């Protein structure tokens, strides 16, 4: 089963790499088209945002993109992901929710993170080194992507750190050889988890001087 899981993971990585490469090749003409029209586009593979000065210009840009993709590339925009939004209202892009007031981790990204943690902790009933190592791999990857200087995820990360600590203790049969009880859950603080090597998402943000 482990061999199959590793093979599927490698296949997924290859698919992502080649999908991104093909998207960049196919959409290169769209980049140049919008540039000639004086429009700014931010694109990663087939996810992109076109920045406009007015709602009217945004409507023209949308029509231009739809026309180019349909007639030149035989592609269609996703109705679920395509819309016109003011920066003050906000929009989602590459796992972030962006608006004029803040840049935060998207709710769907948080749920995906929790799902990964649940998958790991469902199979383990003890806080051992192997579990901590696997969790840290996920937490470090999340922090490297979302704990950026321009994002505002401090409060969210603090809440998630608390969620994962409570979950770990409630699902663990023992901690350091001691049976897990309600009193132990209450007594175990952040410093105890740091002592056993569990990373904290909140700690990845530079602390105020």
- Full-model pTM: 0.74
Distance, CA of 166 to CA of 51 (rounded, Å): 42
Residue 11 confidence (pLDDT) above 50? no
Looking at residue 109, its pLDDT comes to: 94
The string of pLDDT tens digits covering residues 25-39 is 888 999 999 999 999
pLDDT band at 194 (very low <50, low <70, confident <90, very high): confident
The per-residue pLDDT for range 143-163, each reduced to its tens digit, is 999 998 888 999 999 999 989
What pLDDT was estimated at residue 56? Answer: 95
What distance in Å separates the CA atoms of residue 135 and residue 209, rounded to the nearest whole number?
29
Q: How confident is the model at residue 184 (pLDDT cuts 50, 70, 90)?
A: low
Domain ranges of the chain: 1-84, 106-204
Residue 16: pLDDT band (50, 70, 90) is low
Cβ burial, residue 68 (10 Å; 0-12/13-18/19+): middle
Instruction: State the SS3 of the chain.
Output: CHHHHHHHHHHHHHHHHHHHHHHHHHCHHHHHHHHHCCCEEEEECCEEEEECCCHHHHHHHHHHHHHHHHHHCCCCCCCCCCCCCCCCCCEEECCEEECCCCEEECHHHHHHHHHHHHHHHHCCCECCHHHHHHHHHHHHHHHHHHCCCCCCCHHHHHHHHHHHHHHHHHHCCEECCEECCHHHHHHCCHHHHHHCCCCCCHHHCCCCC
pLDDT of amino acid 180:
53
């Amino acid at each position: 089963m482990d061999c199959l899981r590793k093979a599927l993971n490698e296949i997924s990585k290859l698919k992502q790499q080649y999908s991104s490469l093909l998207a960049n090749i196919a959409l290169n003409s769209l980049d140049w088209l919008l540039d000639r029209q004086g429009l700014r586009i931010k694109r990663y593979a087939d996810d992109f945002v076109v920045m406009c000065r007015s709602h009217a210009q945004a409507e023209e840009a949308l029509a231009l993109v739809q026309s180019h993709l349909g007639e030149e590339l035989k592609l269609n925009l996703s109705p679920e992901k395509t819309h016109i939004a003011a920066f003050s209202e906000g929009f989602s892009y590459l796992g972030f929710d962006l608006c004029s007031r803040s840049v935060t981790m998207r709710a769907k990204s948080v749920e995906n993170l929790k799902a990964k943690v649940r998958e790991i902790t469902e199979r383990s009933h003890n806080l051992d080194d192997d579990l901590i190592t696997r969790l840290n791999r996920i937490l470090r990857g999340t922090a490297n992507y979302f704990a950026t200087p321009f994002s505002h995820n401090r409060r969210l990360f603090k809440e998630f750190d608390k969620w994962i600590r409570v979950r770990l203790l409630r699902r663990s049969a023992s901690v350091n050889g001691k049976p897990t009880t309600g009193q132990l859950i209450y007594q175990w603080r952040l410093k105890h988890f740091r002592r056993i090597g569990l990373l904290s998402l909140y700690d990845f943000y530079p602390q105020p001087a």
